[in-house]
Structure 1
């Protein structure tokens, strides 16, 4: 039976980072993954250029039932630390939008960098290798795999969540959590397009492909512990609902059965502008609205809210214009669901952080067992934040095992 100090299960972002960190400390490490292709989630991220971190990453950019949990790992391994590693490996990168950092060339460079870091500590690889079960024994663990048994003093679970099954996502982390009777925060798709009832969405189907910058919010933003979110990002209409960065962001906060509120013209008080212009603007309402919104969207909104496309602005009462203003500046609509894990970039929820040490990521009641990355109930915003959590939690566990 092969014997190691540390077995890391899952060779994605968090797993490779953890394995490299532990191995470079002198630990004998084996890195195990069931996939035939390494780190597919890194490879496809950022349109193939990997949005590997965000220079603004901090605890405020993460969701968790215990929002303070991520502070320790994020403060000890920052975006600047990962950028220093990227520079060490001479990988060109650029800032694209709101602190998002991307490779100049290819996400493959990040994968190669992590492989090189693992090689620097002489990490042993088992890939493809499926772990059938994990057994706790005196002083450690035995992993029963399709390539034989592996004994390890410590085991790190870095197998992620349920997002994008076609590239290998499984519920392995949750099954191990259940085996050891760990509490879970119910997993659900996050950073995912939202869908609407087909009948409700019928007036907007023809708008598929239209994109514009909006404000979007959901949930409660009041009080000392707000439960909602608000973002200004680009929105994209689809045949089934809404997508784009604005919707992906708000989807992590959205709860089934609750509405989202969208301001389609965040820089303009539409009702006040229309009422003020009644005396001087002689155009039809659709033509007026098309000054600020795509023509198809302007027409669709008017039809959806019962306005006559031929009506002139000057002929409409103020009450009707206020109704239109609310429809544009406070468009309130309730999704009936999302596109699910097949389109979700990450999984929200996972192993309850109250089961883990925030310094080491170890399960407090199972010495030697660790959970890191997306398997844990810590979910970042869109824009490189989830990778930063992978790096930070991986380093935290790698330094502790």
Structure 2
């Protein structure tokens, strides 16, 4: 270090971003005896942790595998996920006496509050000698070892710089493009970003047809780009949401349809033919209402189907009914965008990073972890598992 730098506080590791990935990296590095500082521009740490899971934090998924992630390189996340599993984080939760439960499909939630997870992370940081500082926006004054940063509290330097600034999702929580902008300035490739795990919207006639169904939830198999999810969908005042739609939104592209099977586990044509024989006087609306709710069945009949007694339905009529339900094909006009998106798809191109250490190949001492990287999980705790795993992986090497 030069004489000019001698009076600048120096750390082994500075981590920008006090979210799930950044705090896990800090804990892991601190436990190795590294002198670690975590900086965050927000007024408190772990804001997305606190709001996640309806305030109970879906902190991991028992069945998290590389198949639950989207990336331009589907193999990149395997190394980190293999070295820090859901069971490793569960052990940490149990060590701190935090009660948790499985909701469904392997999704684990706190019994009480997501605040328990933030308290866990801060307790582990304190035990590892990590300093965490909020209200600290960062400007990078010098890249390369040592890295030099300018903060409201003055200039700092470090040997290893970790970018854990997350994506663009939910800007009201303080999300910024800091990580992407830094990458662009250094010539590090970035995969195109867009909102993911996000409700889709309709406009014009389609919106008028459906918006007063807002609040109705239905079981479905929803598919986009050939990838399908068996979950509930939810009608909203703007379009569609619910777990099935959020999952499919990560695969949906503007100009593409969503294919929604409203009668999963059933051949609707065969069911209608059988019911025509067994209950010929039952009107179509009432039969559809047994699965679709009365409101949706009535609207489908108003829009597309003739509400006849089943006994009067021809085979062609039955095919017509099935065509509007299995699948129901919709063409969203867009999504609700980053304002409500749970994650950001795309990010730092994994070709620029080591899958073992998360270090940038062309910039020694620089690391990218968590959501800022082009690794995006499915709904249900997988994105937290990537945060823990990528933070742990980098924390072993910074």
Q: By how many angstroms is 1:287 displaced? A: 1.8
Residue aligning to 1:79:
86
1:181 aligns with one of 151, 172, 187: 187
Q: By how many angstroms is 1:132 displaced? A: 2.2
Q: By how many angstroms is 1:49 displaced? A: 0.8
2:237 aligns with one of 225, 236, 239: 239
Q: Which deviations, in whole Å up to 9, do the C-alpha atoms of 1:120-159 show, x marking residues without a partner?
A: 111122221110234214x320011222111000100000
CA contact (8 A) 1:54 1:99 kept: yes
Distance in 2 (alpha carbons) for counterparts of 1:125 and 1:291? 55
Residue aligning to 1:105:
112
1:148 aligns with one of 136, 154, 159: 154
SS state at 1:387 partner: helix
TM-score by length of 2: 0.96
SS state at 2:168 partner: coil
Distance in 2 (alpha carbons) for counterparts of 1:278 and 1:109? 55
Alignment length, in residue pairs? 390
1:343 aligns with 2:340: yes
CA contact (8 A) 1:235 1:247 kept: yes
More deviation, 261-270/76-85: 261-270
CA contact (8 A) 2:357 2:393 kept: yes
TM-score by length of 1: 0.95
Q: Which deviations, in whole Å up to 9, do the C-alpha atoms of 1:299-352 show, x marking residues without a partner?
A: 1112221x233x222222211211111211111111111000010001010000
Q: Which deviations, in whole Å up to 9, do the C-alpha atoms of 1:198-220 show, x marking residues without a partner?
A: 31232212211110110011113
Distance in 1 (alpha carbons) for counterparts of 2:344 and 2:86? 22
Give the 4+ runs in structure 1 shifted more than 4 A.
none
CA contact (8 A) 1:245 1:382 kept: yes
Residue aligning to 2:397:
400
Residue aligning to 2:178:
172
1:192 aligns with 2:198: yes
Change (3 A) 1:134 1:77: farther
Distance in 1 (alpha carbons) for counterparts of 2:288 and 2:51? 39
1:291 aligns with 2:314: no
* Structure 1: tracts of 5 or more residues without a match: 221-228
1:367 aligns with 2:351: no
SS state at 1:16 partner: helix
CA contact (8 A) 2:140 2:147 kept: no
The aligned runs of 1:309-320 (5 Å cut-off) are: 309=307, 311-320=308-317
1:215 aligns with one of 221, 227, 241: 221
CA contact (8 A) 2:68 2:382 kept: yes
* Structure 2: tracts of 5 or more residues without a match: 1-7
1:388 aligns with 2:389: no
Residue aligning to 1:57:
64
1:321 aligns with 2:337: no
The aligned runs of 1:81-96 (5 Å cut-off) are: 81-96=88-103
SS state at 2:104 partner: coil
Residue aligning to 1:159:
165
CA contact (8 A) 2:199 2:249 kept: yes
Residue aligning to 1:223:
none
